Amino acid sequence: MLKKSSRQLVAEANARVRSLSIDEAKDKLNDSNVLFVDIRDARELEREGTIPGAFHAPRGMLEFWVDPDSPYYKEALGEAKELVLFCRSSWRSALAAATLQDMGLEAVAHVDGGYQSWKENGGETVNSAENRRSR
């Protein structure tokens, strides 16, 4: 028997991380001090597209990619920018944002409702190939 359900973990994460509404996230889209981080897997990106300029960091590698002492460190995630995480529906991004806060990052938030809500509310999207060319 589980001590905590996945729903409980997400609720606990949401209680302590900053969630951005779609409008708040849209306002940050062109802010040079913000990096949107798409934590969905590559198949989701290929199938559904992404937010323009988003950096793809698969959920399974995120902790390693933000850690400067890791051999997998990605400089883009260590540029002292606010990281705005998103996944499809904001469950994974809530957990990921909480983990990054546990690691010591303060400037981290996630998009409430995720990419699905972003698209439903008229957020700009690009296919993943276009996004790679723009980076």
Look up residue 75 and give its DSSP letter: G
Would 75 be classed as within a structural domain? yes
- Domain range for 58 is 6-134
pLDDT band at 130, cuts 50/70/90?
Answer: confident
Residue labelled with tokens 């983990």: 99
Residue 133 has what pLDDT? 54
Would 112 be classed as within a structural domain? yes
Helix axes 6-16, 91-102, angle to 10 degrees: 60
Would 1 be classed as within a structural domain? no
pLDDT, tens digit (0-9, with 9 covering 90-100), for 49-61: 999 999 999 999 9
Helix (H, G, I), strand (E, B) or coil at 132: helix
The mean pLDDT value for 9-23 works out to 96
Residue 131 has what pLDDT? 76
> The whole model's pTM is what?
0.94
Residue labelled with tokens 């300029």: 53
pLDDT, tens digit (0-9, with 9 covering 90-100), for 69-101: 999 999 999 888 999 999 999 999 999 999 999
Q: Do the Cβ atoms of 28 and 34 come closer than 8 Å?
A: yes
Q: Do the Cβ atoms of 99 and 49 come closer than 8 Å?
A: no
Number of compact structural domains in the chain: 1
19: CATH = 3.40.250.10
